[in-house]
A and B are shown apart, each in its own frame.
Chain A
């Protein structure tokens, strides 16, 4: 399956700043998910946004979805050092889930 594209590949910010990561995909989707992965660990589900939703919030996370542009963004507000991790967008059906290439976020204390 084709890999989704995430932008930027790496992002370094100061604690307290906002972090924005973008994901572009190539197929039609029913939903799109965002996962987080700490170095050397498994992925943890963050949020799922359905194709009929444009924006979704969960705590300090805000996800937007633009199906006309086939793109999604993840915003982390008031970042903390503990937010340092890789973030992946994921879309597709169970047997054809496509994972983005990931954005490595580093939050400096």
Chain B
């Protein structure tokens, strides 16, 4: 069966420090991979989307970046965090075959607090 791992669960970082959040998927190959951010009490905002190794689409301009060094690994990074980067970050995957109507499978999320 497929599983998705996301870590860390919580992170407190000072302004200006770097960031690296990691997400890995098991039990499937060629997944679509996503990074979302969720503000408190709100829906999700898509940050990055990947259809394959090295293929990253950015949906929202910001000081964050994403990389996909391996088929089932997705990393969210920043060189210098801003206060506004605080939030709940979620990694997700879906089947490659059909993006329309595909279910999303979410990781457990990372609560990032930038102080």
Chain B residues within 8 Å of A, Cβ to Cβ: 6, 32, 34, 41-44, 46, 49, 57, 59, 88, 90, 92, 94, 99-109, 111
- Check if A33 sits within 8 Å of B103, measured CB to CB: yes
- Check if A99 sits within 8 Å of B99, measured CB to CB: no
A-B contacts counted at CB < 8 A amount to 64
Q: Given A31-B101, A41-B109, A42-B6, output 19 extra A-B contacts at Cβ < 8 Å.
A: A1-B46, A35-B104, A42-B90, A42-B107, A43-B104, A43-B106, A44-B106, A48-B103, A50-B101, A88-B43, A93-B100, A94-B49, A94-B99, A95-B57, A95-B59, A97-B46, A97-B104, A102-B41, A102-B42
Cβ of A26 under 8 Å from chain B: no
- Check if A30 sits within 8 Å of B101, measured CB to CB: yes
Cβ of A40 under 8 Å from chain B: yes
